[in-house]
Amino acid sequence: MALSVPGYSPSFKKPPETLRLRRKRVRSLGTALPPGERSEPAPRRAALAAGLSLRPFPVAVGRGGGSPATAGRNPFARLDNRPRATTEPPDGSPPGQQEAPSPTSHVSFSESDTPSSESTELPVDWSIKTRLLFTSSQPFTWADHLKAQEEAQGIIQHCRATEVTLPQSIQDPKLSTELRCAFQQSLIYWLHPAFPWLSLFPRIGADRKMAGKTSPWSNDETLQHILMNDWSVSFTSLYNLLKTKLCPYFYVCTYQLTILFRAVGLAGNDVITALMSPTTRGLREAMKNEGIEFSMPLIKENGHEKKKISGTSLEHGEEQAISDEDEEESFSWLEEMGVQDKIKKPDILSIKLRKEKHEVQMDHRPESVVLVKGTNTLTLLNFLINCKSLIATSGPQAGLPPTLLSPVAFRGATMQMLKARNVNVKTQALSGYKDQFSLEITGPIMPHCLHSMTMLLRSSQSGSFSAGLYTHEPTVVFNICPPMDKVLDKETIHEELANCGLHPKTLDQLSQTPVLGKSSLRNVEMSDYIYNWRS
């Protein structure tokens, strides 16, 4: 049987009781005596006489206790693992005197938790969505079982870029042929290449879904060459449409990165732009060697934005000279000590990798996004056509060309439809259960489609619905606002892009300057024709 020793603490988790009592006794005696009668050390008395604080960290204004006794108390007095009494305020303040909140204190919300102000329009979102889930108190039965004539009319309206303007509110959406045709029109997109047994979006991280699927080109070089030639023709056709302002934008989706090409006037730019993300140091070096000028909007050096990087031989020579000078300076102190022969110097490759460590670390991250502008996009087009690293050499995607996604038709493209599904559920309410109607849309949902859908639901659901938006994460970074030399006015944009195949209101939205930054729309709610959104 163990003996109970007074003041003994098992495992030494608590100080002995005698020390605790002695500490309390000394503190109580010091508080009872007047400040002038205490036996204080000479340095302490001198500091008190000069009015200096005895704490290494000053007490914040508004906290209890400002007397010398409180200021000079033992900061380790509470390290005895005892629970505080509920009536005792923190930091040894007297009972009844609570800590006042600091005037500068505030609750910080992450960007995804901050709702926007009310607006009649949504901000432009250049990310690709994989799923939209709309919910409303009114049914979506009008989106089900389109008649053959309505489906055909919707396809014709899309191919002819027919502008459809719906009333603010539709009394009976199920009987509105105009609404149902416009819905069919909004579901269409164009894709290349197309194989019915393969889902070609998304491509990043799709190896598991593609595993086990038939891919006759994976081991057939002749077939790979044919597919790549066909893809090059389609890619060039899309770029020519973009250059002539007949296509507003398109995406190139590879197994490693995604590229967004935008026409003049979109996202506030006065030239053609291309955003690439994520990139690697090897890809960027290859682009520099091809003479492609690009910038990295999210990378800053020494507080200043990183300037355009050029692949000219002059700049390469200057960088090499600077690198050699730094190398000589870094080992000069070894020569002064006379031990330069005894220490193995790192090779040039190791030095270069160490200096460019930050560039290597950001590879495959959103911060590695690259912006190409103007005539450099044509050079980028030729570079991508001849770039072997865009195509996987092993795995389920081996030999498969990148996916081209466009809102308008182009050479070699296949018309595809987003999948729509109407679901009715009952949700619990205060008075029992109520009907909750939902409309789910899946597929590669591009920015113009998202805007078209919200315009349709604005009319069909009488300005009241909510939506959950599921984003393809590698494309979120496309919402950054790149530096712009000149901003075009709306009239000029409408005049130049009048034949790009988009509704005028959709064109208005896509011409806005992006404001979402490195985030995207996650939740949208419309009430009384007013939007609230979260990113």
Q: What percent of the chain has pLDDT over 90?
A: 55
CA angle 202, 205, 209 (to 5 degrees): 75
Residue 399 — very low, low, confident or very high, per pLDDT cuts 50/70/90?
very high
d(CA 62, CA 486): 52
Instruction: Write down the pLDDT at residue 106.
Output: 34
Instruction: Write down the pLDDT at residue 232.
Output: 97
d(CA 233, CA 35): 91
Q: Is the pLDDT of residue 75 over 50?
A: no
Largest CA distance in the chain: 102
Lowest mean pLDDT among 73-87, 266-280, 352-366: 73-87
pLDDT in tens, 421-453: 998 877 777 777 777 899 999 999 999 999 999
Q: Give which of 316, 270, 254, 271 is closest to 291, Cα–Cα.
A: 316
Instruction: Write down the pLDDT at residue 330.
Output: 59
Residues linked to residue 445 through DSSP beta bridges, in sequence order:
129
Mean pLDDT value of segment 110-125: 68
| Helix, strand, coil distribution of the chain in percent, nearest 5 | 35, 15, 45
Mean pLDDT value of segment 95-109: 37
Q: Do residues 262 and 245 touch, judged by C-beta distance below 8 A? A: no
Instruction: Provide the residue type at 460 as one letter.
Output: S
Q: Is the pLDDT of residue 105 over 80?
A: no
pLDDT in tens, 461-502: 999 999 999 999 999 999 998 877 777 778 888 888 999 999
d(CA 468, CA 488): 33
- In the sheet that holds 464-471, the strands lie side by side as 419-429, 432-445, 129-136, 464-471, 523-527, 530-534
Mean pLDDT value of segment 54-65: 49
Instruction: Write down the pLDDT at residue 486.
Output: 73
Q: Do residues 358 and 300 touch, judged by C-beta distance below 8 A? A: no
Instruction: Write down the pLDDT at residue 358.
Output: 61
- In the sheet that holds 188-192, the strands lie side by side as 370-373, 273-277, 258-262, 249-253, 403-406, 188-192, 414-417
Q: Give which of 240, 249, 248, 234 is closest to 193, Cα–Cα.
A: 234
pLDDT in tens, 501-512: 999 999 999 999
Q: Is the pLDDT of residue 33 over 80?
A: no
Residue 353 — very low, low, confident or very high, per pLDDT cuts 50/70/90?
low
pLDDT in tens, 217-263: 988 999 999 999 999 999 999 999 999 999 999 999 999 999 999 99
pLDDT in tens, 313-347: 334 444 444 445 555 555 666 666 766 566 666 66
Instruction: Provide the residue type at 450 as one letter.
Output: L
Q: Do residues 371 and 299 touch, judged by C-beta distance below 8 A? A: no
Distances (CA, A) of 95 to 74, 382, 437: 19, 76, 56
Q: Which residues of 383-420 are buried (b: 16+ CB within 10 A; e: fewer)?
A: bbbebeebbbeeebbbbbbbbbbbbbbbebbeebebeb
